[in-house]
Amino acid sequence: MTVHHEQLLHEQRHDWTLDEINALFALPFNDLLFQAQQVHRAHFDVNAVQVSTLLSIKTGACPEDCKYCPQSGHYNTQLEKEKLLEIEKVVEQAKAAKEAGASRFCMGAAWRSPRDKDLLLVEEMVRQVKAVGLETCMTLGMVDGEQASRLATAGLDYYNHNLDTSPEYYGEIITTRTYSDRLETLSNVRDAGMKVCSGGILGMGEDAKDRSALLQQLAKLSPHPESVPINMLVKVPGTPLENVEDLDPIEFIRAIAVARIMMPQSHVRLSAGREQMNESTQALAFLAGANSIFYGDKLLTTGNPQVDRDRALFAKLGLHPEKRETCQSEATQAARLAQQAQQQVHAERVSELAVDASV
């Protein structure tokens, strides 16, 4: 089964069938990458890569049982638990990330969902990181409509909540929340006016059909997620997936290419697992349509190529960080001033809560 060339290049489709997706995966590798390159060039500067930095603002003791995650309280991974970081430390890290070339700062907390007093602190983190001049992203677990609205009002640009795998395989990986829970959170985020960051993890023992079904679910979201992280499983000792069989890197690259074709205007992020990838595999991922990475020494709790190594790879491949548009209209500037006034109103309460922020 084939898809019309013009559809591949331009149309944001939400009705991809599994037969169509499987047909893309089955293409000869060179043909698949050629199609992905055409789609990429129709929508992006192919030599520009969006650069994000990820900081864990609260580590460990998560009540969820995600079998891949070292932060789950269900497994003994020797991970040291940490309380919610102080706002000043988060801002310090954000400034360092901007200096290193990041345009987006992502903050993650190991929660099932945020509590009210924690959310107040998170809102202040968003305001202060935005004041540094970075886009903001949060991953805090499940959020309801009111929580999503509060985050949007604070100025949060992106909310990350991955689908992880196919609906059919999901129960093999997580039992403490449902697939529909995840979709509901993404709907709440979109309804609040924020951008969606959602992808999955490959190499968790899933079949090829599960990778097709995952991408089908992501493409069903309307509009498509603005950011689609494609993660390679990082096998952490102590988790149930520590001995799962490795996924062939070529199959991983195929998934990057199919994601690029199916979601032509999304940033497809080469995410977790880069520490285990050689330069050739990463270069193929960029050729296949990946145009976003996490930059820095860590992804929450797992390793990531160091900044100097990334800079050297970018130089070798002729890539450069994507520039963030920083020009502001008068309306945007007025909104910023109003937001700053609101910050002062909340400052005293936030200061009191920061003293007793708990795990």
Structure tokens at 241: 């997936």
**Strand bridging mode 302-303 / 298-299:** antiparallel
Report yes or no on 70 lying in a domain.
yes
Q: Is the same domain home to 284 and 141?
A: yes
Average pLDDT value for residue range 312-335: 68
Residue 137 annotated in active site? yes
Mean pLDDT of 62-88: 62
For all residues of the chain together, what is the average pLDDT? 82
Given 127, 150, 177, 197, the catalytic residue: 197
Tell whether 106 is in a known binding site.
yes
In the residue annotation, 269 being an active-site residue is answered as yes
Confidence band (pLDDT; 50, 70, 90) for 1? very low
Count how many residues are written for the chain: 359
Q: What is the pLDDT of residue 79?
A: 44
Q: Dihedrals φ, ψ of 223, to 5°?
A: -70, 175
Comparison of pLDDT for 357 and 179, the residue scoring more: 179
Binding residue per annotation — 197? yes
Band of pLDDT at residue 88, cut at 50, 70 and 90: confident
What is the pLDDT confidence band of residue 240, given thresholds at 50, 70 and 90?
A: confident
What residues contact 216, with CB distance under 8 A and at least 6 apart? 16, 17, 18, 21
Domain identity same for 342 and 213: no
Q: Is 197 a catalytic residue?
A: yes
CA distances (Å), origin 279, targets 20, 251, 304, 309, 314? 31, 17, 13, 10, 10
269 is in an annotated binding site: yes
Position 295 confidence tier, pLDDT thresholds 50, 70, 90: confident
Residue 5 counted as domain residue: no
In a domain, 314, yes or no: yes
Question: Is 327 annotated as catalytic?
Answer: no
**Does 269 share its domain with 242?**
yes
Parallel, antiparallel or unpaired: strands 48-58 and 298-299? unpaired
287, 339: one domain: no
Q: What digits encode the pLDDT tens for the residues 242-294?
A: 888 999 999 999 999 999 999 999 999 998 788 888 999 999 999 999 999 98
Provide the domain count of the chain: 2
The region of weakest confidence among 215-219, 239-243, 267-271, 314-318 is 239-243
- Spell out the residues 6+ positions from residue 145 whose beta carbon is closer than 8 angstroms to its own: 188, 191, 192
pLDDT of residue 255: 97
* Domain membership flag for residue 8: no
Same domain? 214 vs 315: yes
Whole-prediction pTM value?
A: 0.81
Q: How far apart are CA 151 and CA 155, in angstroms?
A: 7
CATH number at residue 132: 3.20.20.70
More confident residue, 178 or 61: 178
Q: Which pLDDT does position 107 carry in this prediction?
A: 87
What is the sign of the dihedral through the CA atoms of 221, 293, 248 and 203? negative
Same domain, 38 and 62: yes
Report whether 41 belongs to an annotated binding site: no
Do residues 199 and 245 both lie within one domain? Answer: yes
- 184 and 70 share one domain: yes
| Residue 166 resides in a domain | yes
Q: Is 327 labeled as ligand-binding? A: no
Catalytic one among 104, 106, 150, 274? 106
Average pLDDT over residues 226-230: 95
List 104, 137, 211, 260, catalytic entry = 137
Higher pLDDT, 8 or 225: 225
Residue 11 has pLDDT above 80, yes or no: no
Residues 295 and 306 grouped into a single domain: yes
Catalytic residue among 150, 177, 182, 269: 269
Q: Does one domain contain both 354 and 322? A: no
Same domain, 144 and 292: yes
What pLDDT score does 324 carry? 65
Please say if the pLDDT value at position 82 is more than 60: no
Adjacent-strand bridge partners of 106: 54, 137
Distance (Å, whole) CA 295 – CA 50 = 10
Does position 129 have pLDDT exceeding 50, yes or no?
yes
Say whether both 51 and 74 belong to one domain.
Answer: yes
Q: Show the domain range for 350.
A: 328-358
- The pLDDT confidence band at residue 27, using thresholds 50, 70 and 90, is very high
Distance between CA atoms of residues 10 and 111, nearest Å: 38
Question: Residue 126 is encoded by which pair of tokens?
Answer: 């968003």
Closest by alpha carbon to 357, among 128, 58, 132, 74?
Answer: 58
Residues 160-183: pLDDT tens digits?
A: 999 999 999 999 988 888 999 999
How much is the pLDDT for 333? 40
